[in-house]
Structure 1
């Protein structure tokens, strides 16, 4: 009888405040003599560019820290695959010390990314062959514009499993596809022994068994550590006992807070060294001014006249004088991208009516997920659009909207994904614009409009 211990994490999202405790737990567990072997897996979204150190190092600091956890293998989540430009993901794993398994992502020419493999097979000391397959969330709308080819789950599994026939005894999947799709895999591929999952941020304290397959997930942000006991007899799994350990209940050492603060300060210092623009006095602590110039920025980037943004995106107002990449990262931490949407006039009118109908509800609506890093959705702002709700009229650049004419509007991928504005997702011709983030788009625009070398602090440059 083989006794195996499997440690796992998912959706760490650069929550480095958990890393000291996770590291100590892993180190002790990985040397547990009560087990024949210990394996450690990560199921993706280990990085999040809302943390200054991750943003400043483009995830290299995360890789350095993850290497210290001595993972056996990992896969990627959408924060690695979509929130990073193609070139950043290409070099993200240059220094990783464990294999990245990912069966459903390809380069545009259908070649395998140099940093990943479809599957990984390793043997225990007793000769049991364990096969690992990695899968990430299949989002063609956003992977495609980022110059990746994402494969659907069924097509991927049907292609990879025949390659593994006769090569393994135990099959484990590392997935970043969410609990609903994990259950689908368990129902349709009974040969899977264990799914170590992520993406949907579900906490399964004792795992979940679907048919003969166990599914595990530890919530989000490193708040829990996955710890699974597995018994194998004659090279076949005979027992799986999943557990989750609350990180908050683990002991803290005196140096932990200093280490955690050091990660933030290191990133802050790196970003503060990168100056962006010199803003005039009107921007000082004026959120509306920040929103207005940001509307101009995304419209300019999308090469359109119209734009929409919500105030909840702006966690901090801009300030007058020199601003840095840290200021922008702190104000706009969201890994969002600009979308250029084409709508018929009648559909643009309907979108505006959806916005107005939801306006007061959304102003204080607490929102989580879908790349949002703020607290509330906030108030909607327009560029180039005016509304007369008494008469239910919409004006575009001063002219009443023509229901048969086509209009283009700059918005965010966030607005396409949230359920409040269905017109965007249902009838909008949406072009996702990569690779720049929202804050990079705005930063580049500010650098052009208010350049560091041409403006003295407190002097407003003519914007016309």
Structure 2
């Protein structure tokens, strides 16, 4: 008889406020469990650049913190794979004390990344052979422009299953593909005993069983920790799997937790504040529309278009006048979104505008979740170069009536392509995803060119002039 215990996390998204409690729980179980062996996994999206320290360190702070969690293996999520430029992901795990398993992501030349294992074999203290396979969400539309090859799940699993055949007693998948696709895997690959999952932010408090496979997931942001008990007989045959989850809120808080959490945020803020971006005129002072207008110009300039579209919910705070730094931009625009240049025939551009106008009042206060959005509501949509006449339903482009047969290019965000409210973009748009800069980096680069920071002496003179005018 053999007993195993599997601890797991997923979709932590740099919510460091839960890290102290999670760390203590994992360590306590790892050190005191009565089971024969404890294994610990993470199922991706551990990093989110909406936290200033993750952004400032390009995820290295996350790796340092996770090294204390005692992971036996992790896989990556779309936040690590798509929200990071290619070169950042290449060096993300340089200091990691845990292996990364990832079967369906390759370099552009078809080689496996140096930091990833196609699969791993673990042998327990009592001789059970465990095969570990890692999978991430297969998004070719966004992985491709970021210079990765992402493989489809079925193609990958067919290959891996052939490679590992006869070499394991227990097959465990660590996946960042969501519950729906986890169920698909369970239906098509009955050899899988357990899936430790993520991506869909689904809380499976006691797991679910799909045919012969148990599927587990802990929701999001470290609100829960997964804890699974397994039993095997002396011949290494699986007898039982009993998943459950522990609410992080139920774990004891210790003196120093709040100070540790605050220190991580403050350190990231200080690092970002050291990088000055631009010197904005008075018109930007707490005026959200000024921020929207200049950001429309920024994405249009970046995409090389005359037209652009943005929504106000993206701007969590307005910009300010005077010196603006990377923290100001990160605080205002925390979303890991990329600009897309979409080419549409005039009749399809007209349809896109109709979709926007039809949904305008609904979206203004809509509490949008997911699709890289880090705000609270979608907000109002504003255009650059486009006017809509509500009475005639005519659309004007740069002052001219839209030509239904002419091609137009418009700068939008990958967010708008992915959400369901503007299907024209995803169905008929010829979409070019522009990597690697984020939205806020695109805006920051434009601001730095349009409103460069004056020399220090000029700033002193301006300050003196302001003082003497009072």
Give the TM-score range, shorter chain.
Answer: over 0.9
- Equivalent position of 1:272 in the other structure: 273
Q: Which residue of 2 aligns with 1:364?
A: 365
Aligned position for 2:205: 205
Tell me how far apart the structure 1 counterparts of residues 33 and 288 of structure 2 sit (CA, whole Å).
57
Counterpart of 1:57 in structure 2 is 57
Matches within 5 A, 1:33-432: 33-233=33-233, 234-432=235-433
d(CA) in 1 for partners of 2:151, 2:107:
11
Structure 1 residue 33, shift from structure 2 partner: 4.0
After superposition, what is the alpha-carbon deviation per residue over 1:366-388, rounded to whole angstroms, capped at 9, x for unaligned? 11000000000000000000110
CA distance in 2, matches of 1:28, 1:194: 24
Q: Distance in 1 between matches of 2:237 and 2:44?
A: 27
The structural deviation recorded for 1:453 is 2.7
Distance 1:285 1:148 in 2: 40
Q: For the residues of structure 2 that align with 1:353 and 1:393, how far apart are their CA atoms? A: 10
- Across the two proteins, how many residue pairs are aligned to each other? 459
| Paired position in structure 2 for 1:462 | none
Q: 1:450 to 1:30 in 2, by over 3 A?
A: same
Range with bigger deviation, 55-64 or 26-35: 26-35
Q: Say what the alpha-carbon RMSD is for the aligned residues.
A: 1.0
Please report the TM-score for the alignment, with normalisation by the length of structure 2.
0.97
Q: Distance in 2 between matches of 1:138 and 1:83?
A: 14
Shift of 1:277: 0.5
Quote how far apart the aligned CAs of 1:166 are: 1.6
Q: Deviations over 1:50-92 (max 9, x none)?
A: 0000000000000000000010000000000000000000000
Give the structure with the larger helix fraction.
2
Partners of 2:287 and 2:210 in 1: CA distance: 53
1:322 match: secondary structure: strand
Q: Equivalents in 2 of 1:27, 1:105: separation in Å?
A: 31
State the partner residue of 1:15: 15
SS at match of 1:145: helix
Shift of 1:254: 1.4
The Cα of 1:156 is off from its aligned counterpart by 0.1
Question: 2:202 is paired with a residue of what secondary structure?
Answer: coil
Deviation at 1:95, TM superposition (A): 0.7
* Offset of residue 32 of structure 1: 2.4
Structure 2 residues without counterparts, runs of 5 or longer: 466-470
Secondary structure in structure 1 of the residue aligned to 2:32: coil
User: Could you tell which deviates more after superposition, 31-40 or 213-222?
Assistant: 31-40
**Which aligned runs of 4 or more in structure 1 are off by greater than 4 angstroms?**
454-459
Task: Name stretches of at least 5 consecutive residues in structure 1 with no aligned partner.
Answer: 460-464
Counterparts of 1:33 and 1:70 in 2: how far apart (Å)?
14
